Structure 1
Amino acid sequence: MAYPFRLPEVVYLGRGALANLGQEVKRFAASRALLITDAGVQAAGLDKKIIGMIEEVGTKVDVFAEVEAEPSTETVDRAGRLVREGGYQLLVALGGGSPMDVTKGASVLAVNGGSIKDYVGIELIPQKGVPAIFIPTTAGTGSEVTQNAIFAFKEEQVKKGVVSRHLLPRVAIVDPELTLSCPPRLTAATGVDALVHAVESYTALKATPQTDIYALEAIRLISASLRTAVFNGSDLEAREKMALGSFFAGVSLANAGVGAVHALAYPLGGKFHVSHGVSNALLFAPVLEFNCLSNLAKFARVAGAMGEPVAGKSCREAAMLAVKAVRELVEDVGIPTRLRDVGVSEDDIEFLTLSAEKQTRLLSNNPRAMTRKDIERIYSSTL
């Protein structure tokens, strides 16, 4: 089956890419722009440079820096009202996945109205929103290239996704130099998140030869450079490979989708406020092990791309090396490996299972069908 393949209108990728910001701002001929970011980015001082570059081309810029980790529907609704009432003609997202997702939501809410809750699901947004430029400061979410946005529904203690072609960024500027200030723990969590995107989209039911090219290269780049980026964050070569890997994984994710790792991770973020990257990392190896039998050849190629010695091994042996490689990488970069480490107890398994089971959009794209019992077993084995 043929699936659509989409990318942002313009992409600048590599060292020094940020130098193109001014000309892109000018292209939209906006008199007023809103920079959407968070307190962490402000603390690192990255916002000042961006504000200066925007003002240099004659555009007035205001700042919305109230984005929290794992942003709520309330936050994106508030940002959407601000954009609409303020008459902003251009949005600039600066930060990790949270500011970028809030920017996507605010962009379409300013034009379409309502609450972001009204658009949960696939292709439910009627019109494109206010133009936006996306500048990631982490290498992980790939939000700068996807048509997805994820938000926390506090009252339900779950996270849900909005998927629409109208969320696809107009411009993505991916400059690895902006990730140099990213601290080790965040580098680790976002880096594993990017690897999950690459592996899940590579093995997804909607994967195509086109997305496979991006996903496999992302697996190679991230596996080879994440440890260095975490433990020697000033290594610009490692940071550049992570930025490339994250972007490529985002391209694959945007077009092939992801599966059960994300489905089981969402309830952790909603109820226990575990970051998206850590949630994915916790479920990565267990779900991978469950999925391996669905496509041994592809999982064997994942293992090879992660640097495992697959030569001379049977297809099954090689595929299982992917699980080993993932476990070692997650442990090496210091991410928790047990659910109990993030506050989950045996009493929570039923809630998590029932919540994950509702993620049908994701589970339907998983390479192996997953029953309620399978979900419960994976959570229990990870406790």
Structure 2
Amino acid sequence: MPGAIRISPTRAARATSLLRTVQFTHPPSCPCHSNPAHHHHGPRSVHEARRHLATPLDTSRQKEYAFEMAASSIRFGPGCTKEVGMDFTNLGAKRVMIVTDGNVAKLDAMRQVVEGLETEGVAYEVFDKVRVEPKDSSIREAIEVGKRYKPDAWLAVGGGSVIDTAKLMNLYETFPEADFFDFVNAPLGKGMPIPGKLKPLIAVPTTAGTGSETTGTAIFDLVSKRAKTGIAHRNLKPTLGIVDPLNTRTMPSAVHASSGLDVLCHSLESWTAIPFYERIPRPANPIQRPAYQGANPISDIFSLKALKDTVKYLPRAVKDPEDHEAQSQMLLAATLAGVGFGNAGVHLCHGMSYPISGQNPGYKHPGYQVSQNIIPHGVSVAVTAPAVFKFTGASNPDRHLAAAECFGVDISNVKQESAGEVLSEALANFLVKLGDQPRGLKHLGFGREHVDQLVEGTIPQARVLMLAPSLETQDVDAEREQLRGLFEEAMEY
């Protein structure tokens, strides 16, 4: 036909494929749909389609359209610690640094790993000076030790503090020229992505709580800012997590309780975080996609299972030190929650917990064998949980009611507008029945005169606050007011 534009079959097929992709990708249905300034519904011609794809998008205002799943390899089973020597041989490691703390250094888990390395003829050195709830100063000291030894692989044996410290030793020994704040989460640090792979790290958890054996996250106190912060990137995750239930049998009851509360909040926060496709900004490059991405269909499976198991097994593990089934199931729940929150992220309980720990007015949790005052991480996250989930309930009533049902609540006649209140009450009852838990910030020694400082310590936690439903993160003054209300609500439950 005269004047008609001819399109080759190949080009036509590509255009058709593009249009189908734009139409059926969900959520969101089209990369442009998440841009408030973009109104038309996709390319109207082949030429427009090509121009549409070639034009760089301003991703800073675009919502996310993809999620990624990353977790360490996990080996679970009673007695599997003894295999660690063979693991390092299989990795070709000749020189291993073992990272632990003074208490764990005396336990059977350490004896097992040392025997395993010696049987395989793998050289090692032990660093046992990790601080529980590490500070930036203790992290820096550990990093210098690692740089001097120059291992070709790492082994962390202990709780979250040990595993997180080992991750950071590995990071800065691999990139010795980096400034300490290069990788620290923004806005307290530069938040730069880790540019390459680290050396192998095997993590052997001895507590059932942090899930650090699965995640690319490491947390510490930044003393100068009186707040916790950390580093989060997929390259930070361990190569292998050896999850051996025998290693948690030495945990005191108080440690079982507080570490289990961390699992509880990990799972609840990742289950109720904003969905991944609502997160802004979309990364301009996949390397910039954060480890904490928002709730997604895969993380949901791990988070909800971890929540159900924690509600079922944590009271048993705390009550009876000989209930090895409950202890084993809690360790598995911690790992499941780690996979869930390690990809979906956490939000308000954790964001608010960091200044609670960093601004401790003098509280020392009973049952912890440490000399310093300490608010265990699990206690600092759980103490605000009833207030937090009452606040977030309206954002997604169905998810909050599903969580309440895990606590045994009959939700058949509960109105959606009551979802937050119902979950809050279920949480408070669970915490009270668990026993020996401070029933609000007041019982940690905080008063209303501390609220403003707690709010200011929470504001910099942008990495997790951006995932918090119902929080006005685009308006700092409104965000402050909401956080102030939450801290006041959390004074006592």
**TM-score interval, smaller chain:** over 0.9
Matched, 1:181 2:245: no
Number of aligned residue pairs: give it: 382
**Partner residue, 1:251:** 339
What percentage of aligned pairs have identical amino acids? 29
Q: Structure 2: which amino acid aligns with 1:7?
A: A
Map 1:26-65 to 2 at 5 A: 26-65=89-128
- The residue correspondences of 1:136-175 to structure 2 (distance < 5 A) are 136-175=205-244
For normalisation by structure 1, the TM-score amounts to 0.95
Structure 2 counterpart SS, 1:142: coil
Larger radius of gyration: 2
Aligned partner (choices 277, 286, 300) of residue 387 of structure 2: 286
**Equivalent in the alignment of 2:78:** 15
What residue is the counterpart of 1:120 in the other structure? 184
Match of 1:195 among 264, 289, 292: 264
Conservation of the 8 A alpha-carbon contact between 2:182 and 2:192: no
**For the Cα contact (< 8 Å) 2:441–2:490, is it kept in 1?**
yes
Q: How does 1:1-383 map to 2 (within 5 A)?
A: 1-8=65-72, 10-113=73-176, 114-121=178-185, 122-205=191-274, 206-272=294-360, 273-317=374-418, 320-333=421-434, 334-370=436-472, 371-383=479-491
Q: Deviation of residue 363 (structure 1)?
A: 1.0
Give distance in 1, aligned partners of 2:234 and 2:217.
9
Q: 1:81 to 1:352 in 2, by over 3 A?
A: same
Provide the residue aligned with 2:286 in structure 1. none
Query: Which protein is richer in helix relative to its size?
Result: 1
Which one-letter code corresponds to 1:221 in the other structure? D
Does the residue aligned with 2:103 lie in a helix, a strand or coil?
Answer: helix
**How far has the Cα of 1:78 moved from its partner?**
2.0
The alpha carbon displacement at 1:14 in A equals 3.0
Q: Judging changes above 3 Å, is the alpha-carbon distance between structure 1 residues 345 and 314 closer, same or farther for their aligned structure 2 residues?
A: closer
Report the CA distance between 1:154 and its aligned residue. Answer: 1.3
Shift of residue 355, structure 1, vs aligned partner: 1.4
Contact between 1:73 and 1:117, CA under 8 Å: does it hold in 2? no
Structure 1, unaligned stretches of length 5 or more? none
- Of 192-201 and 317-326, deviating more is 317-326
TM-score by length of structure 2 reads 0.75
Distance in 1, Cα, partners of 2:144 & 2:458: 31
Contact 1:14–1:244 (CA under 8 A) maintained in structure 2: no
Output the CA distance in 2 between the equivalents of 1:158 and 1:236.
36
Distance 1:298 1:381 in 2: 22
CA–CA distance in structure 1, aligned partners of residues 269 and 336 of structure 2? 13
Whole-Å separation in 2 of the counterparts to 1:21 and 1:93: 11
- CA positional deviation for 1:316: 4.1
Counterparts of 1:73 and 1:301 in 2: how far apart (Å)? 39
Per-residue CA distance 1:169-214 (angstroms, 9 max, x = gap)? 1011111111111101111011010110001001111101111111
Question: One-letter code of the match for 1:348?
Answer: H
**Cα separation, 1, equivalents of 2:307 and 2:181:** 33
Distance in 1, matches of 2:419 and 2:377, equals 29
1:225 aligned partner, one-letter code: Y
SS of the counterpart of 1:149? Answer: strand
CA distance in 2, matches of 1:316, 1:41: 47
Displacement after TM superposition at 1:89 (Å): 1.2
- AA matched with 2:301: I
Contact 1:77 1:109 in 2 (8 A): no
- Please say which of residues 50-59 and 325-334 is displaced more in the overlay: 325-334
Check 1:91–1:116 CA distance in 2 against 1; reply closer, same or farther (3 A cut). same
The offset of 1:44, in angstroms, is 3.6
